[in-house]
Amino acid sequence: MTAVRRPPNAVKRRLSAGEVAVVTAGHSGSADTIDLMGSLGLDGFWIEGEHGPLSWERLGDQSRAADLWGMSALVRVSRLDASLIVRALSLGAHGIVVPGVRTADEARAIVRAVKFAPVGERGVTLGRRSYGQPQFLHEENAQTVVVVQLEDPEALANAEAIAAVEHLDVAMVAQNDLAQSMGHLGNPGHPEVQRAMASTLSRIAALGPGHAVAGANIARAADVAATLALGVRFLYASYDAWLGAAARDYLGAVRNAPAARKPGDKA
């Protein structure tokens, strides 16, 4: 049997080098969409299993599409559930995202579910990612990414302890759920929410090497520089938001073009 080197985990490589990893997601997440996003040079594709139609039957093809472009396939499961985590990894995911994490103990439980022994207790199977990889079981721990989302004041208060959990890669502040938990449903831009988010991201980033990096959901290019200035090294953005913004700009250009007006219309 000829051993074939599988693509390295692009998100893991970026983070290990101290660089910024950029991932995107959307509610469809078809393999064709992943191909398109891969052609743009993104580091990873977030396959949505909390709010989107995660299909176990499609996950192999989705992760293969990510492999073709050197992207990491990350799967967000709906909750801290070891059976969901191991299934996603066995079918080809490079990493796992878990929402609603509040404590360091929960983060440690996620790490145990993602990693093989001696770090964790992930169920052993030789799925798609192991084919042609005789050392798979011994190399996999170094290739998996673990991301947790902090979504309420309790999680933010425990941010440093969570980020200090060994083998955790990203501690991400989820601004929409945070806004809801702070009494500002649908208004993540509220100053109170933004202050809490910025403070938490800065605190996580200040922990430095050996800790999880800070992550944020930022869709607007205009917000990127300020977010990175807080020390954030993991950026997530929905391609649905990018598509909507681009479509609005395009339609605005058409509707407002002088040549598009009917004779007699006022400027």
Supply the pTM of this predicted model: 0.93
pLDDT at 5: 62
Active site residue 51: yes
pLDDT at 2 over 80: no
Q: What's the rounded mean pLDDT across residues 52-68?
A: 91
Mean per-residue pLDDT over the chain, rounded? 93
122-131, 137-146, 159-168 — most confident range: 159-168
Query: What CATH homologous superfamily does 10-257 map to?
Result: Phosphoenolpyruvate-binding domains (3.20.20.60)
Q: What is the pLDDT of residue 53?
A: 82
The CA radius of gyration of the chain, in Å to the nearest whole number, is 20
Q: What is the pLDDT of residues 85-107, one digit of tens each?
A: 999 999 999 999 999 999 999 99
N-terminal to C-terminal alpha carbon distance within the chain: 71
- Please give the average per-residue pLDDT across 48-62, as a whole number: 90
Q: Which member of 51, 94, 138, 167 is catalytic? A: 51
pLDDT band at 39 (very low <50, low <70, confident <90, very high): very high
Residue 188: pLDDT band with limits 50, 70, 90: very high
- What percentage of the chain exceeds 70 in pLDDT? 96
d(CA 41, CA 24) in angstroms, rounded, equals 11
- At 1, the pLDDT band (50, 70, 90 cuts) reads very low
DSSP for 13-58 reads: HHHHTT--EEEEE-SS--HHHHHHHHHTT-SEEEEESSSS---HHH
The Cα–Cα gap between 101 and 154 comes to: 9
CA distance 110 to 165: 10
**Per-residue confidence band for 150, with pLDDT thresholds at 50, 70 and 90:** very high
